[in-house]
Amino acid sequence: MKLDIVAKLVQILKDAPDVGAIEIRRGLFGVWSSVRVSRAGHGPNTGEAHVVVAHPAAGGGAASAVGPAMMAAPLAAAAASPLLEIKSPMVGTFYRSPEPGAEAYVKPGSRVAPGQVVCIIEAMKIMNEIESDVAGVVRELCVENGQPVEFGQVLYRVDPHA
C-alpha cells in the first residue's frame, strides 16, 4: 500500500471522531488488501465496516482509489443502522438448523433473547451452538446455510426496539 493512501487513512482518523480504528491487511504476495474501519466504543456491537480493496501485485491501480469517500460510505452505513449484530465467535461452517431438513433456530421476524441458540457453527467436526447476546427481533440473515464464516463475521442483525 502506498504512503499517500496511508496518509489519507490517517487523515480520516483525525477528521472523524466516531472512527475508532482503521486496520489494514495485505494478502499473500500483495495480491489484495483489506481495510477495516471500526467506530469508537468498547461494546460487543459497536459496529464496524469492512472493505476489501483490490491491490494488483504490480502496485498502483485500484488500491490507490481508497480515500475518504470510499471509507466514509461504509462507516456511515454502519453508524446509521439501529440494528445490533450477532457475530460469529469462531471460524467454521454456519448452519441455521440442528440437522438437515429441520426447522431453522431463528429466521427474519423471529424474536430472540440473550442465551437463546440462534445457529450452529461446525469447527473441526464439532458442532458449536451459538447463542444470542442481544434481545429483539431478527431483521436480517447475513449468511447462507452451509457457508463458511470467519471470526467476527455478522450472522444476524437484530432490532432491539421491536
Mean pLDDT within 56-75: 46
Domain-terminating residue out of 53, 80, 107: 80
Sequential DSSP letters for the chain? --HHHHHHHHHHHHH-TTEEEEEEEE-GGGSEEEEEEEES--STT--EEEEEEE--TTSSGGGGG-SHHHHHHHHHHHHH---EEEE-SSSEEEESSSSTTSPPS--TT-EE-TT-EEEEEEETTEEEEEEPSS-EEEEEE-S-TT-EE-TT-EEEEEETT-
Note whether 88 and 31 are same-domain residues.
Answer: no
Q: Which domain holds residue 45?
A: 3-80
pLDDT band per the 50, 70, 90 thresholds, residue 38: low
What percent of the chain has pLDDT above 70? 57
pLDDT over 70 (residue 98): yes
Mean pLDDT within 50-65: 44
pLDDT band per the 50, 70, 90 thresholds, residue 31: low
What is the pLDDT, as a whole number, of residue 82? 84
Note whether 61 and 122 are same-domain residues.
Answer: no
